[in-house]
Amino acid sequence: AQKVTQAQTEISVVEKEDVTLDCVYETRDTTYYLFWYKQPPSGELVFLIRRNSFDEQNEISGRYSWNFQKSTSSFNFTITASQVVDSAVYFCALSEAGNQFYFGTGTSLTVIP
Amino acid sequence: DVKVTQSSRYLVKRTGEKVFLECVQDMDHENMFWYRQDPGLGLRLIYFSYDVKMKEKGDIPEGYSVSREKKERFSLILESASTNQTSMYLCASSNVWRGGSQETQYFGPGTRLLVL
């Protein structure tokens, strides 16, 4: 079974629109970490955020915000006032106690000028 | 600044060739990983290593082997390349899970391999 599900394969938005990327995870551990990465066309995955299972506070970083809800096992990512530079593939990942990461299949975001 | 480097950005090989993909990290990380990325499938773990000379199979190890002789270097080997191994290969490294804390994985720029 997929531990991390990103149901949205591709999303297109017009510049300045807000967009939310969904991530649903599955784990039985009480201690775990969730991550978001951005993969621009150049190919390298860039770390965006890490959240541990005991911290359900939402986080905002500039135009980026993350909503972590344990009740629904979701860790959604919102980009406010999207820009063309936000066009990329975004991956959500889960790490349980141990060293392996489980990645979702990614959401390809296209921001149209 | 954190750095994971991969030996090639683009590689073209012929079916049956032995292919070496090299990855080097400069962060003194214990863990190193090899993934392949294909459209619609996301990142799939091929092998990982949590220490020198140690390796663990990931989800899709068939047709691949790895070598970790030094802490900073993790090599992926395609013993006899096949066309279905045409893909993007990503290397990553991280610290071990310590005291209930897991840091991020750091990724290299990737190698796009084409097997003809």
Residues A63, A70: Cα–Cα separation, whole Å: 23
**For chain A, what is the radius of gyration of the CA atoms?**
14
Would the CB atoms of A97 and B100 count as touching at under 8 Å? yes
Smallest Cβ–Cβ distance between B105 and the set A52, A101, A106 belongs to A101
Closest residue in chain B to residue A103, using alpha carbons only = B43
Would the CB atoms of A105 and B107 count as touching at under 8 Å? no
Average pLDDT value over all residues in chain A: 92
pLDDT digits (tens, 9 = 90+) for A58-99: 888 899 999 999 999 999 999 999 999 999 999 999 998 777
CA distances from A94 to A65, A83, B11, B36, B93 (A): 18, 27, 31, 17, 15
The pLDDT assigned to B6 comes to 95
pLDDT at B99 over 70: no
Would the CB atoms of B107 and A37 count as touching at under 8 Å? yes
Would the CB atoms of A91 and B31 count as touching at under 8 Å? no
Who has greater pLDDT, B17 or B51? B17
Torsion angle in degrees (nearest 10) through CA of A95, A27, A34, B8: 40
Would the CB atoms of B109 and A44 count as touching at under 8 Å? yes
Residues B17, A110: Cα–Cα separation, whole Å: 37
Neighbouring-strand partners of residue B32 = B49, B93
Residues A25, A74: Cα–Cα separation, whole Å: 6
CA distances from B89 to A77, A84, B9, B104 (A): 26, 26, 9, 19
Q: Which residue has the tokens 């790895």?
A: B66
Residues of B in contact with A99 (CB under 8 A): 31, 48, 50, 94, 96-97, 102
Report the range out of B48-52, B103-107, B110-114 with the highest average pLDDT: B110-114
